[in-house]
Structure 1
Amino acid sequence: MKKVVIVATGGTIAMKKNEAGKSIPAVTGEGLISSVPGIRDIADFEVVNFSNFASCNMKPENLLKLANKIKDILKNKNISGIVITHGTDTIEDSAFFLELTIDDERPIIFTAAQRDASEFDSDGPRNIKNSAKIAIDDCAKNRGIMVSLNEEIFGALYVHKSHTSNVKTFDSGNMGIIGYVDIDRICFYNNHRSKIKFQIPENFPKVVPILAYTGITSDIIDFYIKNGAEGIVIEAFGRGNVPPELEEGIIMAIEQRIPVVITSRCHNGRVLPVYSYRGGSSRLKDFGCIFSEGISTSKSRLLLGLALTQTNDHLKIQDIFNKIAC
């Protein structure tokens, strides 16, 4: 029988309601396994209790530790695959970080739940069982880091949480799912894999995201520069446009060799230098801004941080963003 490692990190999937009816961390990795009927007919399981907290606590230093833990587990060539249980709030970020730092053909699947373990219809057990099936499937090899809930399988590059509570919360927009866990077998349709891999750094650079809004000024950029920002990601409007008042701050950051990445508040489509009015994307490109190539704001923060471990040259970083999926 194949061997699968369950790495438990916490999240709603590992929570139960307290006396006040509010969800709190409560279930270990062993408890998660025991909640899934018939799961031991699928594989032999080893459990690693990495953490047990809400995923909003998954800081960059935790991601570094998680990546190193996964790398250590994969040293055992008898492991067929890994299932990582996680909170839905930041699962897309953790999956993306591992996509950029783990290079192994074996399946690694993140899974989670929208309903905690004390709910009679919790989606956790089914998601764990389906993920275990993916982990032992030979067709799941060489597909990068995956996220699977509600029978659907997503690649880490484009998956995002789209609903606060519905069990069908994950989506990849125009990119679609990469597979589906059906009753008789797992169907795979395509791959969403990073073309670039990074070494796991000892420390993660300070990269700050900024949400553009009408009326915003450059004061916020000035604040972050003074507080040690090494990189900035600005979530712009549409094709990558910002209020004109941000131009001064963007230029100030770039002159101090602090890379500035432009993303879009839109879930689908690329930012592109097509508008030349003040604050327009074309002007930002001329200043030396880096365009995200369809990667979300939170993921661009992680990608920029890893890129900064190699260079702070904006042209080289733009090349990294260009090559991430092309």
Structure 2
Amino acid sequence: MFSDLFKKLLYASGALGLYHRVRNARTLTVIMFHRVLEPTDARWAHCDPDYTLRADLFTSCLEFFAAHYNMVTADDVVRARRGEHELPPRALLVTFDDGWSDNVDHALPRMRALQAPGLMFVVSDAVGRDEPFYQERIIGAWRRGRLDGRVLAQALRRHGVQAPEPSDTGAAALRLLIAQVEQLAPEKRKALLAEIAEPLADPLRHMITADELRTLDEGGIAIGLHGKTHTPMTSAPDLDAELGGARAEMAARMPHRPAPVTMSFPHGRFDPAIAERARSAGYELVFTSVPVVNSTDSKVGWLLGRLGFETGAVADASGRFRPDLLALYLFRRPRRLLA
């Protein structure tokens, strides 16, 4: 209780804000969101709670950003990287990963209301597809009581994986099994998912459509790429397709816009050689999941860190927004120039 009170007083006194204004004057903070949903939306029961923010908390985050940062567009960052202008002090860019349709329904109206720009990284092959990625389908089936860890572990063992019996029925044990599914060869994974297709079946549409891409673009949300298939770049069988191929597909879908020059790495996985391959494929800004604030002391780097957070970083146990928690999390992140 004392610790909580101290955090609130530290924020209310303005001391945290002053610290931030001095320490982070010449930085670019990039925020990473995934899904934004209302609990009344049918998709709420299907989503992965670790990657989903309640819509009212999302609004509170935007208001916090507006109070403590200067929100910038993706084009602002590209132009600063080219040396065409400087970013304002304490610049902040809002980004979204994957290409979820709920970003159009719930995030976009709130961003428009606050005139907040953003950038969405879209998985090219997921555009126009109803079902989410298999990891989210597994989590969704578990949340709806249609699949448990024991069934998934049994399926893994049938495919030669030494998957132990889950010690409990919680999310942590399930995520360990999902990590083993990710390690399967593509054909084995496809066969395993086919075996449990019935509990994984999801009648809702989760992914963005081509029309919604245009809606986002017209609403001030720039479009970047998040790979072609959502496969981690470090294990992609065709890296050219994941990088240049995805970029060409998006350019064809949005002929009124130049080909995207921004991308982020699916699952945050990359190495220096892959990052350089991304530059060679035409991406001027490459976004990682390295949790740092980007220094702009000398220049804007082409390889950028991003800060993501779960609900516990912005709300208390009762679900109320806590600006002091968000300030303590964001203002103190390491400052680095990744490249």
Task: With the length of structure 1 as denominator, give the TM-score of the two structures.
Answer: 0.26
Per residue, is there more helix in 1 or in 2?
2
Specify which structure has the higher proportion of strand.
1
Question: With CA pairs under 8 Å and 6+ residues apart, which has the higher RCO, 1 or 2?
Answer: 2
